[in-house]
Structure 1
Amino acid sequence: MDFYPAIDIRGGRVVRLEQGDFARERDYGTDPLDVARGFATDGATWIHIVDLDAAKGDGNNRSVVQRIASDLASTVRIQTGGGVRSVEDAQQLADAGVSRVVMGSAAVRDPQLVDVVARVVNVAVGLDHRHGEVAIDGWLRGSALTLSVAVTQYPAASAFVITDISRDGMLAGPDVDGLREICTLTSTPVIASGGVAELGDLRQLREVRGLSGVIVGKAIYEGRFGVRDAVRALQV
């Protein structure tokens, strides 16, 4: 199972949000490239990057993403999301060296767009949900689409990134039972995001059939555990 340490970027700096709320931001004051290099040194083979400025439609950090992808091209694959709304966006990221893009609101609004983008670069569909309803527009609006239906609608997706909004950035533990149920509904690999607080959470997730990876941010930045231990915990 793959471990995805997360880097959220705003204004060229590493930050973390609680439940996606920009008013509840913590600035870690570090260079994203330095953080990514540290993750790679500690054994990460994937890094999950979120461009928060692009997600808000307030500029983007694609030059930063490109620097990371170029610098670590021989050791790490980059999965990135935030503001990927068109084929052009995806093409820019593919040209920057990204291995997989994450599409959220745009994919929910237009599932066929995923089919088109997937011809350019691998696509993970980001399904951020609140009590089983997929949220869009920076988690501000419900979509009336349920998670259980959504995972049946994207045949071209190379993965689903499932984020439990209520747990994101809260260190409250992952929804293991909910993830187990979702994994029974699709043969597409599922990547879990949100809530992981300790290595024991990773060991629980490791046992979920159909789960291919776990994204973790805050627990790393708060020193709950390191990347090296996380990679080891997910090894079967």
Structure 2
Amino acid sequence: MEIIPAIDISDGKCVRLFQGKKGTETIYYEDPLDALNYWKKIGAKRLHFIDLDGAWGSNTNKQILRKMIRQTDSQIHVQVGGGIRTIEDAESLIDLGADRVIVGTMAIKTPQNITILSNKIGSEHLVVALDYKNGRVATHGWTQQSNKDPFSFGKKIGEYGAGFILFSAIESDGAFTGPDFTNIEKMVNSVSTPILAAGGIRNEEDLDKLYDIGVHGAVIGKAFYEKKIEPSILKKSKYKNKGI
């Protein structure tokens, strides 16, 4: 199972949100490049970059995000999301050096673009984000609710050509309430597409349970930055990243 540290960027800083709500930012690094360098020193093999302002429709972080991607090396694979609204946006990030791109709003609004993008960059480089609340998938940086049921739509994602599903419980994100194990297990058992779980991870026990459920990866932000989980966990054999 992959353990993937997250670097979320808002207003040029590395932050975490509470339940995805704008205005609840806790700043952990004034400069996200310092966060990147920290994870480099720790020996992380994969990182999760999210442009929060991009997801909300702003280009504020575009340059810093591109700089961060350029400063990763062959030892670190990055997956990037937030505000990727077009096929060209996604292709440019892959060309810049991102290993995976994460699309959410575009996938919900124009699912045919998943297939087009998969054919262009390869399914192994494409993640579809299913961020859900009250049984429906949210879009536009979690600010709008679609009519899509995550499980029904999740079953189609592999057919469209995406290689991974990023499955996030919005109400658990940054709340230290624990992952939504019931729905994560339901998703794992409903689809053949590998699942990356995010939201609510508090401790190593949560990771053990996700491992037992069978998720491909776990994205961790606040639990690392608040020292609830030690970064040394990245060295544990069962959590060493697959396919690196």
TM range, normalised to the smaller chain?
A: over 0.9
Match of 2:219 in 1: 215
Q: Residues of 1 paired with 2:90 and 2:135: CA distance?
A: 27
SS of equivalent residue, structure 2 residue 236? helix
8 Å CA contact 1:94, 1:120 repeated in 2: no
1:65 Cα offset (Å): 2.6
- Compared CA separation, residues 10 and 167, structure 1 to 2 (3 A): same
Q: Unaligned regions of 5+ residues in structure 1, if any? A: none
- Greater fraction helix: 2
- Compared CA separation, residues 80 and 29, structure 1 to 2 (3 A): same
After TM superposition, the structure 1 = structure 2 runs for residues 117-156 of structure 1, keeping only pairs within 5 Å, are: 117-121=117-121, 122-154=125-157, 155=159, 156=161
Match of 1:68 in 2: 68
Moved more, 155-164 or 10-19: 10-19
Match of 1:49 in 2: 49
Residue 189 in 1 paired to residue 194 in 2? Answer: yes
Match of 2:181 in 1: 176
Moved more, 185-194 or 113-122: 113-122
8 Å CA contact 1:203, 1:234 repeated in 2: no
1:146 Cα offset (Å): 0.7
Q: Residues of 2 paired with 1:58 and 1:134: CA distance?
A: 21
Q: Residues of 2 paired with 1:222 and 1:141: CA distance?
A: 29
1:43 Cα offset (Å): 2.8
Q: Scaled by the length of structure 2, what TM-score is found? A: 0.90
Residue 199 in 1 paired to residue 204 in 2? Answer: yes
1:115 Cα offset (Å): 1.0
Q: Residues of 1 paired with 2:47 and 2:198: CA distance?
A: 13
1:60 Cα offset (Å): 4.1
8 Å CA contact 2:136, 2:145 repeated in 1: yes
Q: Residues of 2 paired with 1:41 and 1:191: CA distance?
A: 24
After TM superposition, the structure 1 = structure 2 runs for residues 93-104 of structure 1, keeping only pairs within 5 Å, are: 93-104=93-104
Q: Residues of 2 paired with 1:235 and 1:17: CA distance?
A: 25
SS of equivalent residue, structure 1 residue 49? strand
- Compared CA separation, residues 182 and 231, structure 1 to 2 (3 A): farther
Q: Unaligned regions of 5+ residues in structure 2, if any? A: none
CA RMSD of aligned residues (A): 1.7
- Compared CA separation, residues 142 and 117, structure 1 to 2 (3 A): same
Instruction: Give the letter aligned to residue 185 of structure 2.
Output: R
Q: Residues of 2 paired with 1:101 and 1:30: CA distance?
A: 24
8 Å CA contact 1:90, 1:120 repeated in 2: no
SS of equivalent residue, structure 1 residue 191? strand
Q: Identity of aligned pairs, percent?
A: 32
8 Å CA contact 2:46, 2:77 repeated in 1: yes
- Compared CA separation, residues 114 and 60, structure 1 to 2 (3 A): farther
1:93 Cα offset (Å): 0.7
Q: Deviations over 1:187-218 (max 9, x none)?
A: 11100000001111111111112x10000101
Q: Deviations over 1:92-114 (max 9, x none)?
A: 21121101111111101111111
Q: Residues of 1 paired with 2:180 and 2:8: CA distance?
A: 22
8 Å CA contact 2:7, 2:48 repeated in 1: yes
Q: Residues of 2 paired with 1:101 and 1:170: CA distance?
A: 25
